[in-house]
Structure 1
Amino acid sequence: MCGIVGVLLGHHDNHANCELYEGLNLLQHRGQDAAGIVTSEHGHLFQRKEKGLVRDVFTKDALRGLRGHMGLAHVRYPTAGSSSNAETQPFYVNSPYGITLAHNGNLTNSEELKKFLDVEAHRHINTTSDSEVLLNVLAYELQLVDKHRLDHLDIFSAVTNVMDRCRGGYAVIAMVPGYGLIAFRDPHGVRPLVIGKRENKDGTLDYISASESVVLDCLGYELVGDVLPGECVILRTKRHPSKEKQKTISHADTIVRAMCLSEGSSTSFTPCIFEYVYFARPDSLIDGVSVYKARLAMGEALGRKIQQMPKLLADIDVIIPVPDTSRVAALQMSVLLNKTYREGFIKNRYVGRTFIMPGQAERVASVRRKLNAMPLEFKDKNVMLVDDSIVRGTTCKEIINMAREAGAAKVYVASCAPEIRYPNVYGIDMPTRQELVAYNRTLNDISRYLGADEVVFQNLEDLVNSVLQCSSDTSPVFSGFDTSVFNGKYITGDIDEAYIEGLENFRNESSKFARTPSEPEIDGLYNSLR
């Protein structure tokens, strides 16, 4: 799960570097592995990208060197490819037009595309990242235009062909020096992307595109709306954004099902529900839905489920959230159940999100650095801990131990999300079933493994309804949500057991982090996915 930002300022003598930097800081929660910015000035590109947090990668001197009124920025955590510096985005390709691209998501047919690029397009891929694959597919389609100057019809046609070829979940911002920004989203709308504008005193317009609306709010932009599934939005200075819905049939749909995008809506608009559960900031709007309101509704739905468990309900003395993402839901649940709400864990703000830290050992070590339990709120109490989700169980298990060490008599756990039993293939780092605490375990098994007295999971139907009921007048019509991690139903229709097994062989923790594989080993791992 990555964060992307693109900025295009109306005045060519202004510089976008500071706004790109601030945008990345606002999206730091979406990736802590690496950060990168590329800017454009008079056709020249300036780049800075490195592993690490945004504040460490971009010093004042580094920012001064990023000149230009237009640029892209990216924060990353590794999902496809390795975690080396070479994988850090944005990516650049010289031909044609000097295109730069930032990508959030994951392609499910990247190996097929790499073969196409090698054999037919004669384009070389330098990294293991599917983002570089996507960039080269876009570059190939634009090269076929064979024109010195692009127009919007050329770009819409090229992006339509990209959507024909590329399967999976992707939100993309591309930059063409001397032209503008191109933003588009996969035909299912799995990964989020918004557009904003800001009018200057002289009437010129600044444009921005980002993963979350909070970036627009904090930088003073007006939300124009979400990029819709299968939609391409072109941003250029001195004019309003060109926006056109394309009728596309993805490569997957020629095999599995026909997918047509009609004017104003998609026949299969299924965004990732985990954005609302965990990833997005509560002050963001995703596809017209307030993340904050959705989490309130999740807490209420979870509370209603506990009301149907009178013995458990009577035994709860206090409700304590696991900071930070579960606070909103826990508060609403406490109101519904008429139970005391307390902050029992104090968080160290300078330790990152453990879920997106690379490597199991680092996640385990970081939990106690991040949280400290206050015995005052735990001693001799039956505690209901509320968490947004339980993935590997690493953090949850440690937190339960901390609660008991702080004196809790009993420790119950409630999860705002259902049991996660399946890997994610659309850009979330959940690739190995054996790592998932709920895989092949009953509720009692999960409770025993975590060390909890009882664990309560949200029903999937209640989770979906929690988001749907918070949709607004600006929300598009949802066909559903990507809930594949809960039910194993993959919306692109191209994922089978062989694919999952190949992905797990490539992405298991030991091969991913124990050492850097050699080139022959990487080739062998990729061949196993074909």
Structure 2
Amino acid sequence: MEPLKHECGVAMIRLLKPLEYYQEKYGTWMYGLNKLYLLMEKQHNRGQEGAGLACVKLQANPGEEYMFRERGLGSGAITEIFGTVHGYFKELTPEQMADAEYAKQCLPFAGELYMGHLRYSTTGKSGISYVHPFLRRNNWRAKNLALCGNFNLTNVDEIFADITAAGQHPRKYADTYIMLEQVGHRLDREVERLYNECKAEGLEGMDITHTIEDRIDITNVLKTSTPKWDGGYVICGLTGSGEAFAVRDPWGIRPGFWYMDDEIMVLASERPVIQTVLNVPADSINELLPGQAIWVNKKGQMRLEQINEPKKKKACSFERIYFSRGSDMDIYRERKLLGQKLVDPILKVIDYDVVHTVFSFIPNTAEVAFYGMLEGFDNYLNQLKVQRIEALGHKPSHTELEQILSQRIRSEKVAIKDIKLRTFIAEGNTRNDLAAHVYDVTYGSLVPYADNLVIIDDSIVRGTTLKQSIISILDRLHPKKIVIVSSSPQVRYPDYYGIDMASMEQFIAFRAAIALLEDRGMRRVIEDAYRKSKEQVGLPKEEMVNYVKEIYAPFTDEEISRKMVELLTPVGTQAKVEIVYQTLDGLHEACPDHEGDWYFSGDYPTPGGVKLVNKAFIDYIEQIYQF
């Protein structure tokens, strides 16, 4: 209901034929540039704060630019940066635009390697200097590096200490700059290793340059720069000499998919994006595996290499619930199954009265789970119909059959999101009043004071929009009961791998658990969890334990949900309000290949996650309590 800001999106293209080939076959040498635009637009959901692209030409002469970059800020950044690129071509004649050889020699962004990035800030740092791709320049073509990624590191402090101890001086204390310096430093060493090798062989001048570019091995660079990265990532890079690469974290937290034929290699954060843009079947698209890198060298030869030892796979389940496009066939099926698995708990809270219940959803990401929920209730109703028909005996009358078979699950589009209001909701005294009107309702969609209203959302994290808007606006329809359903489990812990939830107090589940402990005179549980967390501050992160789990341990999920209702129901609400959450078991049954559930379970896949949740809990307690 309150949108989560999340991980970025990446796109990378390596054309495997000369530009003349695409001009002849597709009518334009801009084939790669156009495909990059589509890959980025189809992933626009992953980046509303900025966008950037980079391009590398393979055959530039000394003195000619061969590496280009354009970046922009805001939700319209994709249109802006591609408009800027096309602005370089607006004065050209039709003949020049159709001349691939002229484009290669004279035009910016007319290259064979492209990389795009969509930014969603998770650190609070903003501005054009934080928009990817980042560039590291050098007079040696092979030492030039453009880097972008969908990532968040948990141990920036450790890595910063390591590289400064080695004599490096990063320009900014930010994970992207630090990663750029790390990879760039190892790229420098790889080039220097090859330079010495060439000199030993008696090579001179441009022969050395060309031999270095032919022999460079990006896997050497990645194997020496990435092992200490703790976090989730898919990092993409281009070098000035024509290497294209991408590497994924060893836990498989962040997603990456690739496709290759004899014309093109493409990598993106989401599978259906590649399917749509290239019109290829899903089974021709490969997942980049945990700890694996894909690399295409200057000659267009592709290699897959295991860079870091794969850990137990903990692919992000929020990708399946919320963030990725629902057009992926597996994600669509999983989201429907998440909805189906909520039928039994919903039946309990509506006292099995489906006749007097209207089902709906919060637009727009919960729509697929809503369809799954409806299918589940259709199946339930069909079973009821069979039982009632069997109970009539062998010769039921037409009227009796018609009465039974005419029963339907009642579904309506009750909630409507008024997106226009988002643009001018301001801070200050008017914010809450304006926020209350972000959603509208369809009047007359249920029978007042007689019908229950069941409304499903993909997740309930902070509960802010529920309290400020949704419950009050739904109550205007005068339902007997409002049942808010979450297709995901209770979000109890911060994420440190790319989602913008890093502090404890923003979680309504955490606030509810703390309130229950206070209500029941159990503050000692809070004190003990704080003391244990504080005692391990000086330990290596690998030895730390997530003691925040002890805050939730005394209570059932249902107890916490009931307390949430107390905290979130606005004063004056007439309908009874209940909240139903997905179970952890239900999540794993629906999404068996994406076991990353740390936001629900507290089981962080990396030591850095445990270290940061420990810090977040201590910060919260020291801000609220005086232990």
Question: How does the TM-score come out when normalised to structure 1?
Answer: 0.80
Among 580, 583, 597, the residue aligned to 1:459: 583
Larger radius of gyration: 2
Q: Is the contact between residue 503 and residue 616 of structure 2 (CA under 8 Å) also seen in structure 1?
A: no
| Deviation, structure 1 residue 213 | 1.2
**Following the alignment from structure 2 to structure 1, what is the Cα–Cα distance between the partners of residues 464 and 606?**
30
**Following the alignment from structure 1 to structure 2, what is the Cα–Cα distance between the partners of residues 161 and 361?**
53
CA RMSD of the aligned region, Å? 3.1
C-alpha spacing 1:136/1:219, structure 2 compared with 1 (3 Å): same
Residue-by-residue CA offset, 1:182-212 (whole Å, 9 max, x unaligned)? 01100000000000135xxxxx411111100
Aligned to 1:271: 315
Question: Does the residue aligned with 2:13 lie in a helix, a strand or coil?
Answer: strand
| Deviation, structure 1 residue 497 | 5.4
Aligned to 2:333: 293
Aligned to 2:52: 36
Q: Structure 1: which amino acid aligns with 2:441? A: A
| Deviation, structure 1 residue 38 | 1.6
**Following the alignment from structure 2 to structure 1, what is the Cα–Cα distance between the partners of residues 302 and 438?**
43
Question: Does the residue aligned with 2:39 lie in a helix, a strand or coil?
Answer: helix
Aligned to 1:235: 296
| Deviation, structure 1 residue 272 | 0.6
> Which structure 1 segments of 5+ residues have no match?
199-203, 249-260, 469-477, 507-530
Q: Does 1:60 align with 2:63?
A: no
Q: Is the contact between residue 152 and residue 234 of structure 1 (CA under 8 Å) also seen in structure 2?
A: no
Aligned to 1:375: 443
**Following the alignment from structure 1 to structure 2, what is the Cα–Cα distance between the partners of residues 83 and 362?**
26
Q: Is the contact between residue 39 and residue 46 of structure 1 (CA under 8 Å) also seen in structure 2?
A: yes
Larger strand percent: 1
C-alpha spacing 1:360/1:410, structure 2 compared with 1 (3 Å): farther
Aligned to 2:42: 26
**Following the alignment from structure 2 to structure 1, what is the Cα–Cα distance between the partners of residues 302 and 286?**
12
Question: Does the residue aligned with 2:605 lie in a helix, a strand or coil?
Answer: coil
Aligned to 2:413: 343
| Range 408-417 or range 141-150, more displaced | 141-150
C-alpha spacing 1:72/1:377, structure 2 compared with 1 (3 Å): same
**Following the alignment from structure 1 to structure 2, what is the Cα–Cα distance between the partners of residues 151 and 119?**
33
Among 7, 10, 20, the residue aligned to 1:4: 10
Aligned to 2:358: 318
**Following the alignment from structure 2 to structure 1, what is the Cα–Cα distance between the partners of residues 431 and 327?**
26
Q: Number of aligned pairs?
A: 467
| Deviation, structure 1 residue 164 | 1.2
**Following the alignment from structure 1 to structure 2, what is the Cα–Cα distance between the partners of residues 365 and 52?**
26
Question: Does the residue aligned with 1:311 lie in a helix, a strand or coil?
Answer: coil
Q: Structure 1: which amino acid aligns with 2:66? A: H
Q: Structure 1: which amino acid aligns with 2:151? A: G
**Following the alignment from structure 1 to structure 2, what is the Cα–Cα distance between the partners of residues 366 and 278?**
25
Question: Does the residue aligned with 2:495 lie in a helix, a strand or coil?
Answer: coil
Aligned to 2:270: 212
Aligned to 2:69: 47
Question: Does the residue aligned with 2:16 lie in a helix, a strand or coil?
Answer: coil
| Deviation, structure 1 residue 382 | 1.7
Aligned to 2:162: 116
Q: Does 1:86 align with 2:155?
A: no
1:99-110 to 2 correspondences below 5 Å: 99-110=145-156
Aligned to 2:549: none
| Deviation, structure 1 residue 328 | 1.2
Aligned to 1:245: 306
| Deviation, structure 1 residue 102 | 1.2
Aligned to 1:386: 456
| Deviation, structure 1 residue 136 | 1.7
**Following the alignment from structure 2 to structure 1, what is the Cα–Cα distance between the partners of residues 587 and 186?**
40
| Deviation, structure 1 residue 305 | 3.2
> Which structure 2 segments of 5+ residues have no match?
1-6, 20-28, 89-108, 195-208, 379-408, 513-559, 570-575, 621-627
**Following the alignment from structure 2 to structure 1, what is the Cα–Cα distance between the partners of residues 300 and 72?**
34
Q: Does 1:177 align with 2:246?
A: no
Identity of aligned residues (%): 23
C-alpha spacing 1:499/1:488, structure 2 compared with 1 (3 Å): closer
Q: Does 1:446 align with 2:564?
A: yes
| Range 270-279 or range 149-158, more displaced | 149-158
| Range 216-225 or range 107-116, more displaced | 216-225
| Deviation, structure 1 residue 173 | 1.0
Q: Is the contact between residue 459 and residue 488 of structure 2 (CA under 8 Å) also seen in structure 1?
A: yes
| Deviation, structure 1 residue 32 | 0.7
Q: Is the contact between residue 604 and residue 610 of structure 2 (CA under 8 Å) also seen in structure 1?
A: no
**Following the alignment from structure 1 to structure 2, what is the Cα–Cα distance between the partners of residues 373 and 80?**
35
Question: Does the residue aligned with 1:383 lie in a helix, a strand or coil?
Answer: strand
Q: Is the contact between residue 382 and residue 408 of structure 1 (CA under 8 Å) also seen in structure 2?
A: yes
Question: How does the TM-score come out when normalised to structure 2?
Answer: 0.68
